[in-house]
Chain A
Amino acid sequence: MIYAPTAVAPTSLDEVYELLSERGGRAKIIAGGTDLMVALNAESLNAKEFIDIWRLNELRGIDDEGETIRIGALTTYTQLIKSPLILSSVPALVEASRTIGAIQIQNRGTIGGNIVNASPAGDSLPVLAAFDAEVEIGSIRGVRRIDFNQFYIGYRQTVMDADEILLAIRMRKLNPNEQSFFFKVGTRRAQAISKIVTAVKIGITGAEINFINIALGSVAPTVIRAKLTESLLTNAPLDTTIIERARRTISQEIAPITDVRSTEHYRRTVAGNALAKILRRLM
């Protein structure tokens, strides 16, 4: 293999901003490398210059902000799995992180990488979508915040400009009357890329659903929210009739494709079954 690419390792965020404003269009940011190195090894990535941010500790860590938590872009899945704060405030994110790759990948893969890699099969992404997360993006021009649910504008496309870097993701903590769920289907539990992945955040009083956020991955060009099914379930009594209707609605609402990992029919069916399974656990 030919190792033509160069790499610079900035030691501060300001240095990253300057590098990106000079060569943002050409240089590729690398963190844990669990996606980029695969592409580089397969020679499907043509980048000549890399900006290595792996040591930029100011982008790493989980902050308790009271109502919300802020997760630095370089935080690894292992750090998420081990965090008591994430377990209590976004439990579905711990579940999702535990299913990503295996320990070798969890030790190097970062949540920021999962977000900017922009794969529709990114396993943490439905959790962020279900929690109405907000992303923090920085550049030499300043810092801006964007709703995660407006971050993707197409297959592997985000709203980020070439001179920008993802800094963090922020989510409201789960309230006592709220719960979160994560469900993933792949060919095996570890390593496999998802055939379908879903995350749910739900608020329930007694047997009535106050609200439900349902996000799915691997069923569309980007992670999506199942808005029709969400409205069907909002303010509805949680019973077997509504669960059956929700199962049918979500199967019809999504528009998955048939690809090497799965068929359209399978994905529609499993999306319905996954939601029904989650809702039944709440009865």
Chain B
Amino acid sequence: MKISFQINGVDREVDAPPMKRLLDVLREDLRLTGTKEGCGEGECGACSVIVNGEVINSCLAPICQMQGVTVLTVEGLSRDGRLDSLQQAFLECGAAQCGICTPGMLISARSLLNTNSHPTRDEIKEAIAGNLCRCTGYIKIIDAIEQAALTSQATPRA
């Protein structure tokens, strides 16, 4: 079936089987491979994307439900070659090791900062509770999100 939606600010149309996962449409049809597959069952958050302003697991969303929505993936975070304040803070704080969880972490953090520009550490932890990292121990990720909140002016991104 044909589905049109807006992804990272660009209108796109795909022709895909209705129950194909949004994750696979992003990676295979649109070649947006920043979004990762971890567990494929909604546990790890590596495939997190923002749909109509809400963070969801793209491995659990069939493409047939995406008609007319707006999607933000990790590729849409930077603008005009400038990194999102979160990406910059992740770099500076050493918040990535193997990197598989990083796109999902950035998306969940972006979703948090869009609605809460000065979160507490507990609010940050709750916002990334659905994103598993097996390398860092989370401390540097939380530090990075905290730093991004301090350094950036709140610029909500869809």
B32 at the interface (CB under 8 A from A): no
Cβ–Cβ contact B40 & A41, under 8 A: yes
Name the one of B19, B108, B127 contacting A7, with C-beta atoms under 8 angstroms: B19
B85 at the interface (CB under 8 A from A): no
**How far does the alpha carbon of A103 sit from the alpha carbon of B126 in the complex, in Å?**
8
- Contact, CB under 8 Å: B129 / A102: yes
Do A103 and B60 touch (CB < 8 A)?
no
**Chain A residues within 8 Å of B34, by CB:** none
**Chain A interface residue count, Cβ-Cβ cutoff 8 angstroms:** 31
Q: Is A42 touching B54 in the complex (CB atoms < 8 A)?
A: no
For residue B102, CB closer than 8 A to chain A, the reply is no
Q: Are B42 and A101 in contact (CB under 8 A)?
A: yes
Contacts of A41 in B (CB 8 A): 21, 40-41, 59
> Which bucket holds chain B's interface residue count?
20 to 34
Per the 8 Å Cβ criterion, residues 34-70 of B in contact with A are 40-43, 45, 48, 54-57, 59-62, 64-65
The digit string for B3-38, where 1 denotes a CB below 8 A from any CB of A, is 000000000000011111100100000000000000
A190 (CB) vs chain B CBs: closest residue: B129
Instruction: Provide the bound-state CA to CA distance between A119 and B108, in Å.
Output: 28
CA distance in complex: A40, B23 (Å): 14
A23 to chain B, nearest CB (A): 16
A107→B50 CA distance, assembly (Å) = 10
A38 and B21 alpha carbons, distance in the complex (Å): 11
Residues A5 and B42 in contact in the complex (CB < 8 Å), given A33-B62, A34-B60, A37-B59 = no
CB distance from B123 to the nearest CB of A (A): 11
Q: Which residue of B lies closest to A2 (CB)?
A: B17
SS of A interface (majority) = loop
Q: A105, B18: Cβ atoms under 8 Å? A: no
B87 at the interface (CB under 8 A from A): no
Does A54 make an interface contact (CB < 8 A)?
yes
CB pair A104–B21 under 8 Å, yes or no, is: no
Docked-complex contact A101 and B61, CB < 8 angstroms: no
In the complex, are the beta carbons of B108 and A38 less than 8 A apart? no
Distance (whole angstroms) from the CB of A163 to the closest CB of chain B? 22
Q: CB < 8 Å: which of B16, B24, B56 contacts A104? A: B56
Task: Point out the residue from A7, A38, A102, A104 that lies within 8 Å of B64, measured CB to CB.
Answer: A7
Check if A50 sits within 8 Å of B41, measured CB to CB. Answer: no
CA distance A4 to B111 in the complex (A): 33
For B51, the closest partner residue in chain A by CB is A107
B43, B48, B60, B108: the one contacting A37 at CB < 8 Å is B60
What chain A residues lie within 8 Å of B45 (beta carbons)? Answer: 102, 104
Contacts of B126 in A (CB 8 A): 102-103, 190
**CB neighbours of A5 from chain B (8 A):** 17-19
**A33 to chain B: which residues have CB within 8 Å?**
60-62, 65
Could you tell me if B42 and A103 are in contact, using CB atoms closer than 8 angstroms?
Answer: no
Judge whether A172 is part of the interface by a CB distance below 8 angstroms.
no
Which interface residue of A1, A3, A54 has the most chain B CB atoms within 10 A? A3
**What are 28 inter-chain pairs, A to B, with CB distance below 8 A?**
A4-B17, A5-B18, A5-B19, A6-B18, A7-B19, A7-B64, A33-B60, A33-B65, A34-B57, A37-B59, A37-B61, A38-B41, A40-B19, A41-B59, A50-B18, A50-B19, A52-B64, A52-B65, A104-B42, A104-B48, A104-B57, A104-B108, A107-B54, A108-B57, A108-B60, A190-B129, A191-B129, A191-B130
Q: Can you add 4 more A-B contacts, CB < 8 Å, to A52-B18, A191-B130?
A: A3-B17, A102-B45, A103-B127, A108-B61
| 10 nearest A-B residue pairs (beta carbon) | A102-B130, A190-B129, A3-B17, A7-B18, A37-B60, A102-B129, A107-B54, A38-B41, A104-B57, A5-B19
